[in-house]
A = this chain, B = another copy of it.
Amino acid sequence: MSARRGTPLTIEEICSTAVRLIDESGVEGLSMRKLAAELDVNPMSLYHHVESKEALLGLVCATAAERMHMPPDDGSPWQEQLKALGLAYHRHALEHPALWGYLHTHPQLISDHRLAIWQTLYRILRLAGVPESELPRTSEILNAFVAGVIVAETQGRLSDDPEEIDRTFDLAVHLIINGMVSFSA
């Protein structure tokens, strides 16, 4: 039997449809069978492009992490750049809350420190006076802090009044920056 559709499946199509389904009904609402139905394809066809559901989720998270837009080095003080990075992270996560919730509970998916987000964080932390040997540890912690706040937010524990959310995120950034100040002294 030939393909049910005109064009052949591509991995990009699979990924972007998966992201849409996850946005609509969460990671636990995504199944290989629903995804295949959405693509008008036999469930098993997916397995020619992806090794397993877990691998697909990994791929989806990796592309989401790569697509995150990084604030450029504009020469401003590290405090401002750190805040800008936090806000970029925050904004991106709010666009795909369920996906980032999954990503943050499977941190091995963004453990590669060559990713743009880590490189940007390293650059800002150097600016803040963090010694080279402490960069991995410090960046992991700051990432964990932000991840924790984003999970709390996207999983709906924090208020859903946007102004309240902003004030809360501001406080988080404020706390982190104050904590960092001891390194730049």
Residues of A at under 8 Å CB distance from B? 101, 104-108, 111, 134, 137-138, 140-141, 143-149, 151-152, 155-158, 167-168, 171-172, 174-182
**Of B148, B156, B167, B179, which one neighbours A148 at CB under 8 angstroms?**
B148
Contact B149 A104, beta carbon cutoff 8 Å: no
**Of B140, B141, B148, which one neighbours A147 at CB under 8 angstroms?**
B148
Report how many copies the assembly holds: 2
Contact A141 B168, beta carbon cutoff 8 Å: yes
Q: Is the interface of A mostly helix, strand, loop or mixed?
A: helix
Which residues of B lie under 8 Å from residue A134 when comparing CB positions?
Answer: 171
Alpha-carbon gap, A157 to B178, bound state (A): 25
**Of B105, B140, B155, B178, which one neighbours A179 at CB under 8 angstroms?**
B178
- Nearest CB on B from A96, distance (A): 15
**Of B157, B171, B178, which one neighbours A111 at CB under 8 angstroms?**
B157
Contact B174 A158, beta carbon cutoff 8 Å: no
Which residues of B lie under 8 Å from residue A182 when comparing CB positions?
Answer: 174, 178
Contact B108 A141, beta carbon cutoff 8 Å: no
Contact A137 B178, beta carbon cutoff 8 Å: no
A–B pairs, 16, beta carbons within 8 Å: A104-B105, A104-B148, A104-B151, A105-B155, A107-B155, A143-B148, A143-B152, A144-B149, A144-B172, A145-B145, A145-B149, A145-B175, A175-B179, A175-B180, A176-B179, A178-B178
Contact B168 A140, beta carbon cutoff 8 Å: yes
A108 (CB) vs chain B CBs: closest residue: B157
Known: A147-B151, A148-B147, A152-B147. A141 touches B104 (CB 8 A): no
